[in-house]
Amino acid sequence: MTLPDDQVLDDVDALVAADPGMMLRATGDAGAQVRRALAGIDRDAVRRIAADGRPRSVVVVGMGGSGISGDVLAAVCGSGCPVLVTTIRDYTLPGWVGPLDLVLAVSCSGSTEETLNVAAEAVKRGCRVVGVGSAGSPLEQTVRSTTSGVFLAVDAGDLMPRASLWLLATPLLVVANALEIADVPDSALERAADVLDSVATECGVAVPLADNPAKILGLSLAGSLPMVWGTSFVGDLAAYRMACQFNENAKLPVVFGAIPEANHNQVVSLDGPFAGSAGDDIFRDPFEDGSGPARLRLVLLRDTDEHPQDARRADVTRDIAERRGVAVHVVTARSGHVVERLASLTAIADWSSVYAAIALGIDPSPIGPINELKGRIA
């Protein structure tokens, strides 16, 4: 495995040169995305959605960096939500979805194949349909093919879907607040934008490695097999987000999970062949002989609003891992409204994934296998 380069993370010019797709700049844009989305949303359209009353359920349809906006909505709504909120990542709309349900179809480009299929089916079934994506796109045409359809346009510009999380999620949260299925006033979203800006200040390219939590985390995970576990809806989603960002940006495989479920299966991997330093050759020269086998590293993304038993489980899990020689990194959410807490964890995930890529000598922007796959099935 390639040895991570720590020196590049302390060289601003080298960082910029290693990121021709400007993923670092896009990551720093997260707070501004929230503000742009709030300023640009069609409030009359949102009022029309709310005027039809609370739906039986909310079904978010989307893929990849667009689909995760539905997970943001579900996490913010939480377990106390009066309606079911679920995300569909497929070509098929579940059989139980009908006219009593609200389908939110999200596609950054407005042309995602799976999302268009499901949105069209939702229109046929007479569902309440709301689209979020690029103006003038096939998704807008599909949504507006029904008189009750509402389309909320967003302009992602040259941002990739995975770099547009908050631009896409903010309209969903505004709709949820209008429907009174979640308490997400604009003021909470503005504070979340401030949190994203604050993390960007702490984790920006000019902040030295020694003082930069995202550079430290990214460098640590760059040469490892990361497992990322979260607590509560907030930590669980942040763990999934972190895995996806490391997959796409750093091109690394990552296992993600949720406490307590991970304590019933994934935790046993701490006794496996990739844990600790078992089997390592103490005389290995990493520069002449290579870095050796990758080892597990555990990341715990902890919400500040945890179930007491989840908090105990996270503490004991850390102890079990460290006793087996597995390094553990704990990232704790900032306090505040649920959307602020979520923003603080996803921001660290995003920044660290880009730094991991650059430390490995990888351009974080290209998504070759995705593009090849799309081309071959078109």
Beta carbons of 110 and 137 less than 8 angstroms apart: yes
What pLDDT is attached to residue 276? 79
Query: Do residues 87 and 131 share a domain?
Result: yes
> Could you tell me the pTM of the whole model?
0.94
Query: Do residues 218 and 309 share a domain?
Result: yes
Query: Do residues 183 and 221 share a domain?
Result: no
Please choose, from the candidates 87, 339, 318, the residue with its C-alpha nearest in 3D space to the C-alpha of residue 193: 339
Number of compact structural domains in the chain: 2
Token pair listed for 108: 């950054």
Asked if residue 199 belongs to a domain, the reply is no
Query: Do residues 224 and 285 share a domain?
Result: yes
Q: Positive or negative CA dihedral for 30, 165, 235, 368?
A: negative
Cα gap 273→259, rounded to integer Å: 23
Asked if residue 115 belongs to a domain, the reply is yes
CATH number, residue 250: 3.40.50.10490
What pLDDT is attached to residue 282? 45
Please choose, from the candidates 299, 284, 347, the residue with its C-alpha nearest in 3D space to the C-alpha of residue 72: 347
Asked if residue 44 belongs to a domain, the reply is yes
Sheet holding 128-133, edge to edge: 84-88, 57-61, 102-107, 128-133, 150-153
**What one-character DSSP code corresponds to residue 63?**
-
Query: Do residues 17 and 70 share a domain?
Result: no
How confident is the chain (378 residues) per 10-residue block, as mean pLDDT?
86 96 96 97 96 96 96 95 96 96 97 96 97 97 94 93 96 98 97 98 97 98 96 97 98 97 97 75 49 83 97 98 96 98 98 98 96 92
Query: Do residues 309 and 328 share a domain?
Result: yes
**What phi, psi does 369 have (nearest 5°)?**
-60, -35
Asked if residue 264 belongs to a domain, the reply is yes
Please choose, from the candidates 277, 314, 311, the residue with its C-alpha nearest in 3D space to the C-alpha of residue 292: 277
Query: Do residues 42 and 177 share a domain?
Result: yes
Total residues found in the chain within this entry: 378
Asked if residue 108 belongs to a domain, the reply is yes
Q: Positive or negative CA dihedral for 6, 215, 169, 194?
A: negative
Last residue of a domain, one of 168, 191, 214: 191
Query: Do residues 140 and 276 share a domain?
Result: no
What pLDDT is attached to residue 283? 46
| Domain assignment of residue 294, given as a range | 7-21+204-368
Asked if residue 375 belongs to a domain, the reply is no
Query: Do residues 146 and 290 share a domain?
Result: no
Biggest distance spanned by C-alpha atoms of the chain: 72
What pLDDT is attached to residue 274? 92
Asked if residue 1 belongs to a domain, the reply is no
Q: Are strands 224-231 and 295-302 parallel, antiparallel or unpaired?
A: parallel
In a 13 Å sphere around the CA of 246, the CA atoms on its Cβ side amount to 31
Cα gap 317→16, rounded to integer Å: 38
Helix and strand numbers, DSSP H then E, in the chain: 14, 9
Last residue of a domain, one of 136, 157, 191: 191
Asked if residue 265 belongs to a domain, the reply is yes
What pLDDT is attached to residue 279? 46
Query: Do residues 35 and 150 share a domain?
Result: yes
Q: H or E segment at 106? A: strand 102-107
What pLDDT is attached to residue 277? 59
Last residue of a domain, one of 135, 158, 191: 191
Query: Do residues 64 and 103 share a domain?
Result: yes
Token pair listed for 53: 């009353």
Query: Do residues 108 and 229 share a domain?
Result: no
Cα gap 23→200, rounded to integer Å: 13
What pLDDT is attached to residue 223? 86
What pLDDT is attached to residue 294? 79
Q: Could you check whether the bond before residue 185 is cis, i.e. omega within 30 degrees of 0?
A: no
